Amino acid sequence: MNRSLPLMLALAGSALYASAADFKDPEFYSNTAIQCMSPNGQWAVSEIYGTVTLININNGDNFIFEAGETGSPYYMLGLGNVLTDDGLLLCVTDLSSSKASYYENGEWKSLDTGNIQSGNSSANGITPDGKRICGNLGLISTTLDDVTMAVPAIWDRQADGSYGNYVLLPHPELDFTGRAPQYITAVAISDDGHTVVGQIVDCRGAFLYPIVYVEDADGKWSYTLPTDHLMNPDDVKLPENPGESPKMPQPADYLSPEQSDAYTQAYNEWVASGYVQDLYPDAMDFMTDEKRAEYEADTAAYDTALAAWYEKYSAFDQAYWDIVSTSPHFQFNQIALSPDGKFFAMTNAVEDDSDPTSWMPVTINHVWEFEIGSEKITKYEDIALSVKAYGDNCILAVETDASTNCFNGYLLQDGKATSLYDFLCAKGEKIKEWVDLNMTHDTEVYDWENDVVSVQSLTFTGLPVASRDMSVIASWTQSVWGDYSPESYLFDFRDPSGIKTVAAGIKSDSKVIVGADGNLHVADGVTKLTVYGLGGECLMQQDKPGSTVECGLASGVYIVRTDNADGSCSVAKVIK
Q: What is the pLDDT of residue 554?
A: 76
pLDDT at position 271 is 94
Q: In this structure, is residue 493 part of a structural domain?
A: yes
What pLDDT, on the 0 to 100 scale, is given for residue 553? 75
**Could you tell me if 372 and 418 lie in one domain?**
no
Percent of the chain with pLDDT over 90: 59
Q: Bigger pLDDT: 204 or 498? A: 204
Say whether both 282 and 384 belong to one domain. Answer: no
Across the strands, what pairs with 64? Answer: 53
Residues 208 and 352 reside in one and the same domain: yes
pLDDT digits (tens, 9 = 90+) for 450-483: 777 788 888 999 999 999 989 999 999 988 888 8
Of residues 318 and 446, the one with the higher pLDDT is: 318
Residue 356: the pLDDT is: 59
Please report, as a single letter, which amino acid is at residue 307.
Answer: A
| Same domain, yes or no: 466 and 418 | yes
* Predicted pLDDT at 42: 94
Written in H, E and C, the secondary structure of 56-118 is ECCCCCEEEECCCCCCCCCCEECCCCCECCCCCEEEECCCCCCCEEEEECCEEEECCCCCCCC
**Of 27, 36, 233, 19, residue with least CA distance to 125:** 36
Q: List helix spans (H) across 145-288.
A: 257-272
Confirm if 420 and 442 have CB atoms less than 8 A apart.
no
Band (pLDDT 50/70/90 cuts) for residue 570 is confident
Model confidence band, residue 22 (pLDDT cutoffs 50, 70, 90) = low
Report CA-CA distances (Å) from 350 to 248, 252, 317, 335: 39, 48, 20, 16
Confidence of residue 119 (pLDDT cuts 50, 70, 90): low
| Average pLDDT value for residue range 492-497 | 75
3-state helix, strand, coil in the chain (%, to 5): 15, 35, 45
CATH of the domain at 354: 2.120.10
Bridge-based pairing of strands 43-48 and 512-514 is unpaired
Residue 521: the pLDDT is: 81
Residue type, position 99, single letter: K
Q: Contact, 191 vs 339, CB < 8 A?
A: yes
Residues 486 and 555 in one domain: no
DSSP code for 171: -
Mark whether 17 and 130 lie in a shared domain: no
Flag whether 242 is in a domain: no
Q: What's the pLDDT tens digit per position in 80-99? A: 999 999 999 999 887 555 68
The verdict on residue 542 lying in a domain is yes
Question: Do 155 and 225 belong together in one domain?
Answer: yes
Q: In this predicted structure, what is the pLDDT of residue 357?
A: 60
Q: Which pLDDT value is given to residue 286?
A: 94
Q: 199 near 182, Cβ under 8 Å?
A: no
* Residue 341 and residue 381 in contact, taking contact as beta carbons nearer than 8 Å: no
- Tell me, what DSSP letter sits at residue 392? S
501 pLDDT exceeds 50? no
Count: domains in the chain: 4
> What is the pLDDT of the chain when averaged over all its residues?
86
- Residue 406 maps to a domain: no
Give the chain's count of helices (H) and strands (E). 5, 39
pLDDT of residue 194: 97
Residue 4 scores a pLDDT above 70 = no
pLDDT digits (tens, 9 = 90+) for 268-294: 999 999 999 989 999 999 999 999 999
- Residues 92 and 141 grouped into a single domain: yes
Cα–Cα distance for residue pair 6/380, rounded to 1 Å: 19
Please state, in angstroms and rounded to a whole number, the distance separating the CA atoms of residues 33 and 484.
Answer: 12
Q: What is the pLDDT of residue 29?
A: 92
Contact call for residues 118 and 138 (beta carbons, < 8 A): yes
* Total-model pTM: 0.78
Report the C-alpha gap between 434 and 26 in whole angstroms.
8
| CA distance linking residue 357 with residue 16, whole number of Å | 50
Domain limits for position 112? 78-230+328-338+340-390
Arithmetic mean of pLDDT, 94-116: 81
* Model confidence at 5: pLDDT above 60: no
* pLDDT tens column, 211-247: 999 999 999 999 999 999 999 999 999 998 888 899 9
Higher pLDDT, 352 or 198: 198
Q: Which residues contact 117 (CB under 8 A, 6 or more apart)?
A: 97, 98
Percent of the chain predicted with pLDDT > 70: 87
Largest CA distance in the chain: 110
Average pLDDT over residues 147-167: 93
CB 313: neighbour CB atoms within 10 A? Answer: 18
